Chain A
Amino acid sequence: MRPFTYERADSVDDAVALHGEQTRYLGGGTNLVDLMRLGVEQPDRLVDVTRLPYDQITVAPDGGLLIGATVRNSDLAVSWSVRQTHPLLSQAVLAGASGQIRNQATVGGNLLQRTRCSYFQDITKPCNKRDPGSGCPARKGENHNMAIFGHSTACVATHPSDMAVALAALDASVHVHSREGKRVLPLSDFYRFPKDDPSRDTVLKPGELITEVEVPPLGMPSSYRKVRERASFAFALVSIAGALKVEDGVVQDCRIALGGVAHKPWRAHRAEEMLRGVAATKENYLRAADAELESAHPLRENGYKIPLARNLIVRTMLSLGEGA
């Protein structure tokens, strides 16, 4: 392990001032420290942000949430208000990692966790995300859990966060601070597609610190479901965050975001548009799912994700509709 310095920030100003060229903010460290051990991350300074005063979940009068970036994943998942108003968010967090990791992991760190692509994690191999220009062995190699949407010749990786998929469905936005001040980024624009520069997962500029995540009120039944090869402690093959409002048999509103299928949480805008205002029937769900999946481009080994995503969309909408 390379030597590095460790600093603890007490305020946002402190944190952003301490941030230099090879600095990383340290949340729970459950991803960053692993990557440092593997040699993937080689910071010379860690700025611990877990003592910043952003460890609260605030419920707005309208039912919206303001979630501090240092709130531990476990605390977010068990929060009574979150479970009441945004159950899909609680379910998504609980579907991730293990109890021990969730106790340690923070909301900010969860959003910025890196892909689980095994080439990315092995510094003896090429990878455009880790080492720009070196190539993407996953595209023709082992890709059974890679992206089916929005990948490029440069990178076919997926974003691994469950929480982010729920936040994408919720139209959340991310508050970030830097020396230049504060900005608010809608989650839909927060993550990037790999295009020709997969080294950047998000639009964050160097040194920008996540302080809060803002979640508008939802007001309809919602759920999160994750498909994986074992019953817990595994990343998603495909996951779905869904919400549905049906009145008189007609879809008033709906949200569908898929995980495990793209470089970012995949908001199924096309399917949502097709569903708003039509009858809440299996046929319509199926038609919407198929339309959404038309733009999918499976790789050699991950074609199964298409029927899987389709089934998940249909089943999630059906069960949310039944609950209504």
Chain B
Amino acid sequence: MTSLERVEARDKVTGRARYAFEYPVEGAAYLMGVQAAVGRAEIASVDHEAALALPGVLAVLSCENAPEIAEVDDPELLVFQSRKVSYRGQFVAAVVAETWETAQEAARLVRITYADERRPDVRLSADHPGLYEPEEANGGFPAVSELGDPDAAFATAAVQIDATYTTPAQHNNPMEPHATVAAWEGDDLTVYDSNQGASTVQGTLAKIFKLEPAQVRVVSPHVGGGFGSKGTPRPNVVLAAMAARAAGRPVKLAVTRQQMFATTGYRTPTIQRVRLGADADGRLTAILHEVVSQSSTLREFAEQAAVPSRVMYRASNRRTAHRLTRLDVPTPSWMRAPGETPGMFALESAMDELAYTLGVDPVELRVRNEPERDPEQDIPFSSRNLVACLRKGAEHFGWADRDPTPAIRRRGRKLVGTGVAAATYPANRMPNKATARADADGTFTIRIAAADIGTGSRTALTLVAAETLKADPAQVTVELGDSALPRASLAGGSTGTASWSTAVVRACEALLDELDGEIPPEGVEATADTAEEIKSEPEYSRHAFGAHFAEAEVDIDTGEVRIPRMFGVFAAGRIISPTTAHSQFVGGMVMGIGMALMEQSVMDAEFGDYLTHDLAQYHVPACADVADVQATWIDEEDQHLNPMGVKGIGEIGIVGAAAAVANAVHHATGVRVRDLPITPAHLLPDF
């Protein structure tokens, strides 16, 4: 497909692209949330007086006076409906004022007294008494799967790996914090909001405020990232709408970076035990992957970290299981490739341990265990090119010359090593609607309430429409990010491009059917709905695959780890927009470097909150951490996916990346770090 620069690039670099908080709304007041300063208690009273006395304060909201709102599935959204404090940092009050600064100062003056305060239970452990097996893991997967007799097969395996891996809590931290501007006109609500799906936010707000969806409009044309944290509506959008109504004025709410660490989701910490049994040639006979994670007392969220182990390798005896415990913590949620990201760190580290124990090359070990069909569902893969990714990556990276012996390569005062890991991510689709319109001047307009959270979906859909219409991309305008457009699914689970492009292609095809000859002055329009098409999908196991190759340098004196080069190869169906796809892969890999080496939210056991409160404390890779990171892909033709043959690329780039880094660190140093992130504190005592 032709390459196209990001269609809104110029708007973004010139500042013309508007983000939620920037919408000029006449008469807007400012809203600031007040967070609970205890981890577990009942609110005895909230004293609004001092805050209201501050000049410029318009209203204070809390459980003392909040209007009743309707229940929805996510109790995190039911702001001020209960006196229970479920975690430290939960929004328990809010202030509306003439200026943001006044609102911020008044927020500090809201006096909350707590009763029945108890020490919060916030520490996840593998023997936490509250551990239970949920019915389902996130994504609707069964919590447990079992085939054959995994315990017996493992016990009798010629070679065994039995190791426990942990990943810390991580916060999504998109560049643009969550923000909402809410304005009522009678009973009609408009919100300018930063989210990953305008239609989803519209539906939720309608339910909460007991409105018809048509009474709610959500406008979100530009969103500065989400990484899953904006996939579900967050308290900010409810708060803003509630406060705007209470104050009788439009309000603007920007969640602060500090507040994001409690109120906008995060990736749960995980404790994962992986057992691999293999014969002397490295053929797996048993795969056991058991995951422990946390959720809040408000809602169950079970990170599906063992799910990738259901598709990766062949073995006739297997078990995957998830257990979780409910702690006095914020509800964890989606963060780039929930499930696969922590899960593949564990599985792919264990595969490396097995390769090392057996003396088999880690690329070869994976190839040897390549399944012909989906190993648990026993259905064919729509396409599976993991081996091709491994081979291509190995060749490009110079893997053939690799001496597997750890800790023997030096570059000055640095130990050097290389590591490999595989990646996988499901390719799913959601139902969508879209319209395509042709105008007499030869231009086309596509309308769909899709989201572009910086991923390039606007660009990809432009190319998809142009190709289907056999038009020049310059003639095509895609309108998205507005709930007034045809209803769309959200940007999540790497389903966006696959789902939206199906609707766009169908709408364009329908338009072509209607076009014959001259286009009338009023234009021609056609609409498509993909609900039926998606329901009747034939049974295939649909997944993208990939392989990461990383080189690590570890300073002998300091234990500092740096990644001079990393190479990723992905097989993710057809790549629609090479420019933005490349950014997605590379961005995922960089986030994987962050996960491997620095990202970590530290829970304070006494107070019960994540101590890391800003980007000075919560480290993500800086430019200096990202040296030579490259991604490429295999042109994959898959007839069993969707009209464009795409698999989705937003998440797979991070999957397995941390394992490749950890495996490279092992190769460099001989030290196997099973607890992320790999910091000098982990490596130094061993040097």
Partner of A1, one of B105, B557, B598: B105
Residues of A near B104 (CB, < 8 A) are: 1, 37
From known contacts A142-B604, A311-B558, A312-B557, infer whether A230 and B685 are also in contact, taking CB-CB under 8 Å: no
Contact A234–B558 (Cβ < 8 Å): no
> What A residues does B37 contact at CB under 8 A?
124
- The reply to whether A308 and B623 contact each other, CB–CB distance below 8 Å, is no
Partner of A125, one of B101, B108, B607: B607
C-alpha spacing A308/B617, complex, angstroms: 21
Min C-beta distance of A232 to chain B, whole Å: 4
B611 x A142 contact (CB < 8 A): yes
Q: Which of the listed residues A2, A121, A124 has the most CB atoms from chain B within 10 Å of its own CB? A: A124
How far apart are the CA atoms of A140 and B558 in the complex, in Å? 25
Stretch from B40-48, B650-658, B676-684 forming part of the interface with A: B676-684
User: Is A137's beta carbon under 8 Å from chain B?
Assistant: yes
Which chain B residues in 597-646 approach chain A with CB under 8 Å?
A: 597-598, 602, 604-607, 611-613, 616-617, 619, 621-625
A58 to chain B minimum Cβ distance, whole angstroms, is 33
Taking a contact as CB atoms under 8 Å apart, the answer to whether A144 and B681 are in contact is: yes
- A39 and B108 within 8 A (CB): yes
- What residues of A have a CB within 8 angstroms of the CB of B598 in the complex? 229-230
Does B560 have its Cβ within 8 Å of any Cβ on chain A?
yes
Q: How far is the CB of B671 from chain A (nearest CB, A)?
A: 13
Decide if A230 touches B606 in the complex (CB within 8 Å). no
Contacting residues of chain A (272-324) with chain B, CB-CB under 8 angstroms: 301-302, 304, 307-308, 311-312, 314-315
CB distance from B470 to the nearest CB of A (A): 48
Interface: B342 (CB within 8 A):
no
Q: A141-B605, A304-B685, A307-B685 are in contact. Are A231 and B616 (CB under 8 A)?
A: no
Residues of B within 8 A of A37 (CB): 104
Asked whether A233 is an interface residue with its Cβ less than 8 Å from the other chain, the reply is yes
A137 to B602, CA, bound (A): 14
CA distance A56 to B619 in the complex (A): 35
Q: Is A251 located at the chain interface by the 8 A CB criterion?
A: no
Q: Using CB atoms, name the residue of chain B closest to A233.
A: B622
For chain B, the count of residues having a C-beta within 8 Å of the partner chain is 38
Partner of A232, one of B258, B622, B680: B622
Chain A residues numbered 220-277 whose CB sits less than 8 Å from any CB in chain B: 227-235, 237
Q: Would you call B680 and A304 a contact (CB within 8 A)?
A: yes
For B141, list chain A residues within 8 Å (CB). none
Contact with B along A14-44 (1 / 0, CB 8 A): 0000000000000000000000011100000
B132 at the interface (CB under 8 A from A): no
Nearest opposing residue in chain A for B679, CB measure? A229
**Chain A residues whose C-beta falls within 8 Å of the C-beta of B679 in the assembled complex:** 229
Binary CB contact string for chain B from 243 to 283 against chain A (1 if under 8 A, 0 otherwise): 00000000000000010000000000000000000000000
Interface flag for A11 (CB, 8 Å)? no
Any B CB within 8 A of the CB of A118: yes
Residues of A within 8 A of B617 (CB): 116, 118
Partner of A142, one of B258, B413, B560, B602: B602
Would you call A308 and B602 a contact (CB within 8 A)? Answer: no
B562, CB-defined interface residue at 8 Å: yes
A116-B616 in contact (CB<8A): yes
B496 within 8 A of A: no
CA distance A2 to B108 in the complex (A): 10
Judging by beta carbons under 8 Å apart, are A137 and B607 in contact?
A: yes
The residue on A at minimum CB distance from B556 is: A311
Please state if A141 and B622 are interface contacts (CB–CB under 8 Å).
no
Q: What is the CA–CA distance of A229 and B558 in the complex, to the nearest angstrom?
A: 10
> Which B residues are CB-close (under 8 A) to A121?
613
B559 interface residue per 8 A CB criterion = yes
Q: For A118, list chain B residues within 8 Å (CB).
A: 611-613, 617
Complex CA–CA separation, A141 to B258 (angstroms): 20
In the bound complex, CA of A237 to CA of B598 (Å): 13
- The CA of A118 and the CA of B606, in the complex, are separated in Å by 14
Which residue of the partner chain, among B413, B562, B616, contacts A315 with CB atoms under 8 Å?
A: B413
Across the two chains, which residue of chain A brings its CB closest to B560?
A227
Interface members, chain A 110-125 (any B CB < 8 Å)? 116, 118-119, 121-125
A231, B625: Cβ atoms closer than 8 Å: yes
- For B620, give the chain A residue with the smallest CB separation: A230
Q: Known contacts A1-B105, A307-B684; is A230 also within 8 Å of B619 by CB? A: yes
Report the minimum CB–CB distance from A125 to chain B (whole Å): 6
Which residues of A have CB within 8 Å of B605? 141
CA distance A233 to B621 in the complex (A): 9
C-alpha gap A231/B611 in the complex (Å) = 22
Residue from A119, A125, A230, A232 whose CB has the most chain B CB atoms within 10 Å: A230
Known: A118-B613, A121-B613. Is A231-B680 also a contact (CB below 8 A)?
no
Most buried by A among B35, B557, B602, B623: B557
B619 touches A312 (CB 8 A): no
Task: Give, as a whole number of angstroms, the nearest-CB distance from A101 to chain B.
Answer: 10
Binary interface profile of B, 544-560, with partner A (CB < 8 Å = 1, else 0)?
A: 00000000000001111
Question: Are B604 and A232 interface neighbours, CB within 8 A?
Answer: no
The 8 closest A-B pairs by CB, nearest first: A231-B624, A304-B681, A124-B37, A311-B557, A232-B624, A1-B101, A227-B558, A315-B557
- Since A304-B685, A307-B687, A308-B559 are in contact, a sample of 13 more A-B pairs with Cβ atoms closer than 8 Å, ordered by chain A residue number, is A1-B104, A1-B105, A118-B613, A121-B613, A142-B602, A229-B560, A230-B598, A231-B562, A237-B681, A301-B681, A304-B681, A304-B684, A307-B684
A residues sitting closer than 8 Å to B (CB atoms) are 1-2, 37-39, 116, 118-119, 121-125, 137, 140-142, 144, 227-235, 237, 301-302, 304, 307-308, 311-312, 314-315
**Could you give 17 example pairs across A and B, Cβ below 8 Å?**
A38-B258, A118-B611, A122-B613, A141-B604, A141-B605, A141-B606, A227-B558, A228-B560, A229-B560, A229-B619, A229-B680, A230-B624, A234-B622, A235-B616, A304-B680, A304-B684, A307-B684
